[in-house]
Amino acid sequence: MIHLIRDHATQAQIDEMLQILGAYIKLAVDIEQGILAGGGELHADCEQVLLENGSQQENIWGADWNPFTQKVTYEALINIRPRQNNRSMEILDPVIRERVEQIARQILGGVGT
């Protein structure tokens, strides 16, 4: 199940987002609006939820959240963007990485199973 989360996630939302992969949650984070979509099998699925809710593609970045360790990783196919000077699956810009982590921690941090 993919959730669009604007505020702090609940334990029920975390549990539902973990249903597909079990150990971590795929995320798409809108660094402009400070929101994220999480869950599902692909980062692109989460990205689509954000796009359908008014996010602009250039503001959406893919990451993973591990609720057990409370850590963010920054690799996703949706991050390959030569036009935005990101030629890797990993988010290369430290400012964007920091913003992704900040939003993920604000929304998902402290909630875990």
Q: How many CB atoms lie within 10 A of CB 10?
A: 12
Q: What is the pLDDT of residues 66-109, one digit of tens each?
A: 999 999 999 999 999 999 999 999 999 999 999 999 999 999 99
Residues 49-64 pLDDT 10s: 999 999 999 999 999 9
CB atoms within 10 A of CB 35: 20
pTM of the model: 0.95
- Tokens found for residue 14: 């975390």
- In the chain, domain spans: 3-90
d(Cα 101, Cα 107) in Å, to the nearest integer?
Answer: 10
Phi, psi of 98 (to 5 degrees): -60, -40
Q: Where are the alpha helices (DSSP H) in the chain?
A: 11-17, 43-52, 94-108
Residue 111 pLDDT > 90: no
